[in-house]
Homo-oligomer: A and B are copies of this chain.
Amino acid sequence: MHGECLPGPCGWVSISSMSTAALLVIGNEILSGKVRDTNSAFLAVELRKLGVDLERILTIPDEIDLIADETRALSHAYDFVFTSGGIGPTHDDMTMDGIAQAFGREIELHQSMVDRMARYSDKPLNDAMKKMAMIPAGADVLDVGGLWFPVVVVENVHILPGIPELFEKKFQSIQDRFSGVPFILRKLYVRESESDIADILNALLREFPELMLGSYPRMNEEHYRVMLTLESRNEGYVERATEMLVKNLPADAVFKVE
């Protein structure tokens, strides 16, 4: 998707409505191999469904200056930024401070968050819980239904928790804010080896230069050796490309089409 338009049977589809996104994962626990990051894969799938282009995933340690610098850079470069992790009550949770610093804002106690926590809690709030209500000044606080803790948004940066169950729930609760033109995807599972069909793929791309074509070898599959993906935001374009590809592959090479 590097041009300004997409070719289509009915003229051109403007891509001005397409959105880009980046994910910043803040987590020593990921980098040190103690916890496996599942939020990246989740977000990649969800944004794809919405038609938003996820263009960068960056995982960094829990350090305020790093969080600030990377947040600022991503915020300028992409339409939407998401962060994962570092918003709990403990010493190693530095995301709010880093994001405040990114935009030259102070950190302050957000009274309506304190009130909300108090409603959900069965005991008085301690300092650790109050730390969770310290957010960048002027942030948007999104009320997301039954969730204990709101989603905090600073400029175009959406601050999500690292715990996968919460990351997923919170993203789903705000996903209506993000939308683009969805992709149409076709998958071909092919019995030939990748190097044997490379010329056919190159010929396909000469005919369909705007096609997003992926080729993924699989080592432990019984029935096929390569998964091919054909994508575009224009359905007719994908269908015509798929048709040409199937025609050009050797007879019996295609195990299945999805």
The chain A residues found within 8 Å of chain B, CB to CB, are 25, 28-37, 40-41, 44-48, 53-61, 88-92, 126-129, 131-132, 163, 165-166, 183, 185, 194-196, 198-199, 201-202, 205, 212-220, 229, 231
Contact = CB atoms under 8 A, between A and B. Distances in A.
Contact of A214 (B40, B92, B194): B92
A28 B215 CA distance: 11
Nearest to A126: B195
**Top-4 shortest CB links A-B:** A128-B198, A33-B45, A33-B44, A57-B59
Contacts of A128: 194-196, 198-199
Given A28-B212, A90-B215, 18 more contacts: A25-B57, A29-B229, A30-B44, A31-B53, A31-B54, A32-B54, A32-B212, A37-B41, A55-B60, A56-B58, A57-B59, A58-B59, A91-B205, A91-B213, A126-B198, A128-B199, A163-B218, A165-B220
Q: Is the interface of A mostly helix, strand, loop or mixed?
A: mixed
A123 to B, nearest CB: 9
Contacts of A217: 88, 163
7 contacts: A29-B216, A30-B57, A34-B185, A56-B59, A57-B57, A128-B194, A163-B217
Nearest to A42: B33
A44 B57 contact: no
Contact of A31 (B29, B44, B132, B166): B44
A33 B187 CA distance: 13
A191 to B, nearest CB: 16
B34 A229 contact: yes
A77 to B, nearest CB: 12
